[in-house]
Amino acid sequence: MPVRDAVEGDAEEICALIEEHARYEGNDELTLDREEMRGHLFGADAKAWVLIAEPPGQPGTVAGFAFCTWSFSTWEARPGIWLDDVFIRPEHRRHGLGGELLAELRARTTGRVEWDMQEGNDRAAAFYKQLGAQEVHGWTRYRWRPARD
């Protein structure tokens, strides 16, 4: 299967994928602290987890990832998954890896799998719709960020 759980040895590649995704989306400034991310993903009090997509027939090659945390719905009274980021490197697209990542997330919970998508990303919207995902109407996301010096 081309999707697997990330291991600590993947931390550098995960950071590289996040930075590549940022550049793909026009953010040329993002640089992550590798050790800090390693702690968030694989430390004693890990805060997130990652699935890695490998192209068929190319074990050990990292094509993309899904970066996730657990969530909980009070109204459904069950845990779900918050998909913070999903990215497949352009050279590995159109092989079903994004669908494989999302199918694996769906299989890991009886609750909701949720994520945000930037407005105007019509290709992603069509992809998610093809998978059976539904847009959430009537809700607006708010974000409270820490003050910066």
**Active site residue ranges:** 128
129-136 own/partner pairs: CB under 8 Å, 24+ apart: 131/99, 131/102, 133/102
| CA dist., res. 80 & res. 98, Å (int) | 19
| CA dist., res. 108 & res. 118, Å (int) | 25
A 10 A CB-CB count for 126 gives 10
| CA dist., res. 4 & res. 13, Å (int) | 14
Element (H, E) at 9: none
Q: Contact, 66 vs 83, CB < 8 A? A: yes
